[in-house]
């Protein structure tokens, strides 16, 4: 299964999950610093204060990327570091010296706490502050970046951060208002980036293939409702310039102003798709309240776990969901260049005899890359694939209990050890495809 010669083989990380150095060089507190300092919010009382120390060990990590043959590295720029962006100068230059394309994400969940204190993403003004941040970053590294991602997974910020409160800032108010202001921030940043940089502009959306548990019309309707709340709430405004009609019953949309959707729907150069698992849903009869459910359906929808293997997160392993997601975007929204900007799995990795034998992760990646290849053969314009993640890292509310990395990180010593999956991925890159 050969991939195009121009295909980008990459890996992803995010600033708060790997950098550490939260007090270095003028960085100000983020909502995750505050969230982590609140007892009970994060498993084991973990924080990202040190994380994988990528901030100080980036040269070692870039050398590891080069050894794997990566052609692209997707990282995020920490908004709390706006006062001093020197680290990203160093990182980008180190990547280019190794012929690795820098792919910069501008927002990966780490809002400065001062902006949260002013209302956070529930406050429309945060979108304008984000545009200012985008301009500052583009002015600094825009001449060397290979691609921009404005936002990463705005669904998580809106529905987990401002809906259920399991992510920072831990609020339970209006996820729809937060979602709209995130999308507005994206729309305002696009022309700013284009004015400062020739690099293509994209957004990374977490897509889930939502399937009904049966052909019963009630289950089909339930699946469509979840699809609206997970996928179309973001894909439609970004790619069609409007919200789905079937979302109107779920929120008061009076916060949308004239011109917002035109800004949000400005044409993109590419679209990033993050995929981890499918969703299997059906109608709940009678409705059953579920306080931990991030979808505000009033308990009318029940989520089911598909049969088969799961990751250490409990997420079903189903590569056909990625294939179907990529084809669905192509068919529903027209030909748009696509990048799989995140795909990976957590497993309980352990070092044995100096190595990490993560055969389950290899099988996961093999299956999902095969699904990407199948989608390409069926007409999807997919131009790159980024494993989540390069390093074991701080996994948000799970702390350090879940390992997604190609490189094992010993959190006591911070030593990096390439897992068997890293060596497998290296060989895939060298071949330019999968051996079948």
What is the pLDDT averaged over residues 349-368? Answer: 97
**Mean pLDDT taken over the chain:** 97
Give the pLDDT of residue 61: 99
pLDDT at residue 249 above 90? no
Domain assignment present for residue 423? The answer is yes
Q: Residue 425 maps to which CATH number? A: 3.20.20.80
The answer to whether residue 250 scores a pLDDT higher than 90 is no
Domain, as residue range, for 181: 8-431
Q: Name the pTM for this structure.
A: 0.98
State phi, psi for 54 to the nearest 5 degrees: -60, -30
Work out the pLDDT band at 181, boundaries 50, 70, 90.
very high
Is residue 216 one of the residues assigned to a domain? yes
Give residue 288's pLDDT.
87
Give CA 370 to chain center in angstroms: 21
Could you give the dihedral angle defined by the CA atoms of residues 377, 378, 383 and 385, in that order, rounded to the nearest 10 degrees?
-80
- Rounded mean pLDDT, 354-380: 98
Q: What is the mean pLDDT of residues 327-348?
A: 97
pLDDT at 290: 78
Residue 3 belongs to a domain: no
Task: Determine the average pLDDT of the residues in 98-112.
Answer: 99
Q: pLDDT tens digits for 221-243?
A: 999 999 999 999 999 999 999 99
Check pLDDT > 90 for residue 292: no
Q: Tell me, yes or no, whether 311 lies in a domain.
A: yes
Q: What local confidence, expressed as pLDDT, does residue 289 receive?
A: 82
pLDDT given at position 73: 99
Tokens 């990529």 found at:
326
Q: 185-219, pLDDT tens digit by residue?
A: 999 999 999 999 999 999 999 999 999 999 999 99
- Does residue 1 form part of some domain? no
Above 80 in pLDDT, residue 40?
A: yes
**Confidence class of residue 72 from pLDDT cuts 50, 70 and 90?**
very high
DSSP track, 390-418: SB----GGGTTS----SEEE-TTT--EEE
Whether the per-residue pLDDT at 291 is higher than 90: the answer is no
Does residue 65 sit within a domain? yes
Residues pairing with 212 in the sheet: 281
Flag whether 412 is in a domain.
yes
- Asked if residue 2 belongs to a domain, the reply is no
Q: Where are the alpha helices (DSSP H) in 142-232?
A: 154-155, 175-196, 217-227
* Residues with a known catalytic role: 153, 342
Work out how many domains the chain is built from and give that number.
1
Summarize pLDDT for 407-422 with one digit per residue, the tens. 999 999 999 999 999 9
């Amino acid at each position: 299964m050969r991939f195009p010669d121009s295909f980008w083989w990459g890996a992803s990380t995010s600033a708060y999950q790997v950098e550490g150095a939260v007090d270095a060089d003028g960085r100000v507190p983020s909502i995750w610093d505050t969230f982590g300092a609140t007892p009970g919010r994060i498993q084991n009382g973990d924080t990202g204060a040190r994380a994988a120390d990528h901030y100080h060990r980036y040269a070692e990590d870039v050398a590891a990327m080069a050894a794997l043959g990566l052609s692209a590295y997707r990282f995020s720029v920490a908004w709390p570091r706006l006062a001093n962006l020197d680290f990203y100068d160093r990182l980008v230059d180190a990547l280019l010296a190794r012929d690795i394309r820098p792919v910069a994400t501008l927002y990966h969940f780490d809002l400065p706490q001062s902006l949260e204190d002013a209302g956070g993403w529930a406050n429309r003004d945060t979108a304008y502050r984000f545009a200012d941040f985008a301009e500052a970053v583009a002015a600094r590294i825009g001449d060397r970046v290979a691609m921009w991602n404005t936002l990463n997974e705005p669904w998580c910020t809106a529905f987990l951060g401002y809906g259920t409160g399991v992510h920072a800032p831990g609020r339970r108010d209006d996820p729809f208002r937060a979602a709209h202001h995130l999308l507005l921030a994206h729309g305002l940043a696009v022309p700013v980036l284009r004015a400062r940089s020739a690099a293509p502009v994209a957004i990374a959306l977490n897509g889930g293939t939502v399937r009904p548990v049966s052909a019963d019309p009630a289950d089909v309707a339930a699946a469509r409702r979840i699809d609206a709340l997970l996928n179309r709430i973001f894909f439609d405004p970004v790619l069609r310039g409007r919200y789905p009609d079937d979302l109107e019953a779920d929120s008061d949309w009076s916060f949308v102003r004239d011109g917002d959707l035109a800004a949000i729907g400005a044409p993109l150069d590419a679209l990033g798709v993050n995929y981890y698992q499918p969703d299997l849903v059906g109608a709940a009869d009678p409705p059953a309240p579920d306080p931990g459910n991030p979808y505000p359906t009033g308990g009318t929808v029940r989520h089911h776990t598909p049969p088969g293997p799961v990751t250490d997160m409990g997420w079903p392993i189903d590569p056909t969901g990625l294939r179907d997601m990529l084809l669905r975007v192509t068919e529903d929204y027209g030909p748009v260049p696509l990048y799989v900007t995140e795909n990976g799995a957590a497993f309980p990795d352990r070092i044995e005899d100096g190595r990490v034998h993560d055969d389950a992760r290899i099988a996961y990646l093999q299956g999902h890359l095969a699904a990407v290849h199948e989608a390409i053969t069926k007409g999807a314009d997919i131009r790159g694939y980024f494993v989540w993640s390069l390093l074991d890292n701080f996994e948000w509310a799970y702390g350090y209990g879940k390992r997604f990395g190609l490189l094992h990180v010993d959190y006591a010593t911070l030593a990096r050890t390439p897992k068997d999956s890293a060596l497998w991925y290296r060989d895939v890159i060298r071949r330019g495809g999968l051996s079948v």
